[in-house]
Amino acid sequence: MNRRELLVGGAVAALAVTGSYRSGALAQQKLVLKASDVHPLGYPTVEAVVRMGKKLETATNGRLSIQVYPSMQLGGEKESIEQAQVGALAFARISVGPMGPVVPELNVFNLPFMFRDTAHMEKVIDGEIGSEMLKKLSDNPTAGLIGLCWMNAGTRNVYNSKRPIKSIDDLKGLKIRMMGNPVFVDSMNALGGNGVAMGYDQLINALQTGVVDGAENNYPSYASGQHYRYAKYYSLTEHLMIPEILVFSKRVWDSLSKEDQALIAKLSKEAQQEQRKLWYEAEEKSIQQIRDAGVEIVKIADKQPFQAAVKPVWDKYGGQHAALIQRIQAVK
């Protein structure tokens, strides 16, 4: 056994025997399941998992519970995925963004202008395709993750410290932070900006020091991450509508009873619905917050040139998934 295997084994063992247990019966063991999120307490994805933890505790008389680590306490999103893969974490709430390289089909959700609007995106994740994608992730032999449910993450828009973006020309020369997945850097470059791949955990510093001129995200991330303090022009490019996924460590999952797995699966589906309500409330609050802070929200009259510019990105990343793309587009 190498050092890594020892650590992994240790992590799973530590997780599996946290707390007390009665009469040695495995079914009675208290398990504290660790969950991570890059966002702070109160953010819709975090709150949904906190609420799920309460339900889990009630349903199992305290035998199972969730300990949430918000605000990147356990590292950025990449680290969360890795920790879940090795079993050091049970739950990780992550964006589909960094999952493309792990499960190729998921990258279709990361194509710019893939969804017509958020209603379209919701229909897709709530329907057959959404279930299939979660299964693809769970069945993927190398991912080491179980896809539990989807969560909303609204629409991503470009923000920067230099100028409002009203047409595609305004993006020229701007250094824009993108999530760590080549499809995003290629998309920004195709739009005329300079895409810079970087973890969410490094972004606030990069904005503050001018390493990047801006980034792109939904209203709640822009507001809760304090990005608006350094990049006051928020332009409605609406180029991405990437859902989030709540994943579970396959290593930890395999150590649970069938009943516990079923309970977590059921509560996750409820969390998906609950998070959606929380999402729309958070979006409204964030818009108010950034307006009060003097942010300029810039409307873009004609998005057609933006859509045309990313055609090569679709050819490069969507080519091998043409059938899936057609099915998504056919969802009305």
Q: How far is the CB of 302 from ligand GTR (least distance, A)?
A: 26
Q: Is 299 exposed, middle or buried (0-12, 13-18, 19+ CB in 10 A)?
A: exposed
Q: Which of 152, 221, 249, 286 binds ligand GTR (CB under 6 A)?
A: 221
* Amino acid at position 187, single letter: S
> Cβ of residue 257: shortest distance to ligand GTR, in angstroms?
30
Judged by CB under 6 A, does residue 231 bind ligand GTR?
Answer: no
Least separation in angstroms between CB 203 and ligand GTR = 7
The residue from 218, 235, 249, 275 that contacts ligand GTR (CB under 6 A) is 218
For residue 206, state whether it binds ligand GTR (rule: CB under 6 A): no
Residue 260 contacts ligand GTR per CB under 6 A: no
* C-beta closer to ligand GTR: residue 85 or 218: 218
Six-digit token string for 300: 């873009």
222: three-class secondary structure by DSSP: helix
User: For ligand GTR, what does the binding mask look like between residues 84 and 113, x meaning CB under 6 A?
Assistant: ----------xx-x----------------
CB of 151 to ligand GTR, least distance (A): 8
Shortest Cβ 9–ligand GTR spacing (Å)? 29
Under rule CB under 6 A, residue 79 binds ligand GTR: no
Residue 272 lies near ligand GTR (rule: CB under 6 A): no
Amino acid at site 275: Q
Distance from C-alpha of 8 to C-alpha of 13, rounded to nearest angstrom: 9
Q: From the list 79, 122, 186, 244, which residue makes contact with ligand GTR (rule: CB under 6 A)?
A: 244
- Report the Cα 120 to chain-centroid distance in Å: 18
Closest-CA residue to 314 (of 323, 300, 325): 325
The whole-angstrom separation of Cα 244 and Cα 37 is 11
Residues 143-202, interacting with ligand GTR (CB under 6 A): 153, 179, 200
Torsions phi, psi for 244 (to 5 deg): -100, 160
- Quote the least distance from Cβ 97 to ligand GTR, whole Å: 5
| Long-range CB contacts for residues 133-141, cutoff 8 Å, separation at least 24 | 133/103, 133/105, 133/106, 133/109, 134/245, 136/103, 136/105, 136/106, 137/99, 137/102, 137/103, 137/106, 137/245, 137/247, 138/250, 140/102, 140/103
Count of positions on this chain that bind ligand GTR (CB under 6 A): 12
- State in angstroms the smallest separation of the CB of 96 from ligand GTR: 9
Establish how many alpha carbons lie within 13 A of residue 1's alpha carbon, considering only the half-sphere containing its beta carbon.
Answer: 8
Does 56 sit near ligand GTR (CB under 6 A)?
A: no
Residues engaged in binding ligand GTR (CB under 6 A): 38, 77, 94-95, 97, 153, 179, 200, 217-218, 221, 244
